[in-house]
Amino acid sequence: MSAGKKVALISGANKGIGLETARQLGKQGITILLGARDLAKGQAAVEELKKDGVDARAVKLDVVNPADIKAAAQLVEKEFGKLDILVNNAGVMFEPIGGNTTTTVSEEQLRQTFETNFFASVSVTNALLPLLKKSDAARIVNVSSILGSLGLHAQEGSPIYEAKAFAYDASKAALNSYTIHLAHALKDTKIKVNSAHPGWVKTDMGTDAAPMEIVDGAKTEVQLATLGPDGPTGGYFHLGETISW
């Protein structure tokens, strides 16, 4: 891995939108640290990326495991001394898509969803922030969902009005709040922080019913990870379009 190249860490990158984000960023010449909670799956994904000429290595990162987070930060510090891009992509959804789970989702599932989708993103970011501050212009992408939009959920007739997966939606709304607060905390730095809605994408989470292919589903993450100096911070986007909080 050569000096001077940008370095990106993507969580949950062994499959789905995270893996495709790794591929598209890697094809731009960015060194990829491919986060995976199962290192063997991460290594298999790295072998796949290498066929596309991507400079990648797998990092064991179960985002709800503090020891993994600490070790990943130490690895980045030791090997690169900085981090240019952090994509908080790892996510879970335990509820069915469609319908309203507000009174049926278990408290355990509510907590587990928040652990991965919200608390872990804060923990991973906090651990890596000192290294992001060493980059010339770091980018943090919190992979949210349009289902995290409080405004659209409250608006009768909106595209998501009938899709109320309570644990998932609330966890992504909390993640969006983190985006706004972190962007404000970092407003006097060159670091930009944004929330991404990938679209409804054909992955294990999105299911085959989704209209978007994975190659397009990664585009919003890639755009926000590679924003120029005039790009936005503290925003919520899908393919360059602003989403209502």
Ligand X SMILES: NC(=O)c1ccc[n+]([C@@H]2O[C@H](COP(=O)([O-])OP(=O)(O)OC[C@H]3O[C@@H](n4cnc5c(N)ncnc54)[C@H](OP(=O)(O)O)[C@@H]3O)[C@@H](O)[C@H]2O)c1
Please identify every residue annotated as catalytic. Answer: 168
Q: Residue 89 in contact with residue 221, Cβ under 8 Å?
A: yes
Quick one: which of 204, 208, 230, 241 contacts ligand X (CB under 6 A)?
204
Q: How far is the CB of 154 from ligand X (least distance, A)?
A: 19
Quick one: which of 69, 143, 165, 222 contacts ligand X (CB under 6 A)?
143
**Burial degree of 2 (CB within 10 A; 0-12, 13-18, 19+):** exposed
**What whole-number distance in Å separates Cα of residue 233 and Cα of residue 245?**
14
Choose one: 35-43, 99-107, 133-141, 156-164; the region binding ligand X (CB under 6 A): 35-43
Choose one: 33-41, 104-112, 122-130, 230-238; the region binding ligand X (CB under 6 A): 33-41
Interaction of residue 91 with ligand X, rule CB under 6 A: yes
**What whole-number distance in Å separates Cα of residue 92 and Cα of residue 171?**
10
**What whole-number distance in Å separates Cα of residue 152 and Cα of residue 146?**
8
**What whole-number distance in Å separates Cα of residue 113 and Cα of residue 94?**
7
Q: Residues in contact with ligand X, total (CB under 6 A)?
A: 30
Quick one: which of 23, 31, 84, 89 contacts ligand X (CB under 6 A)?
89
**What whole-number distance in Å separates Cα of residue 184 and Cα of residue 107?**
32
Q: How far is the CB of 174 from ligand X (least distance, A)?
A: 13
Interaction of residue 64 with ligand X, rule CB under 6 A: yes
C-beta of 192 vs 217, nearer to ligand X: 217
- Please give the backbone phi and psi of residue 73, each rounded to the nearest 5 degrees, phi first: -65, -40
Which residues are at the interface with ligand X (CB under 6 A)? 11-12, 14-18, 37-38, 41, 61-64, 89-92, 116, 143, 145, 197-198, 200-201, 203-206, 210
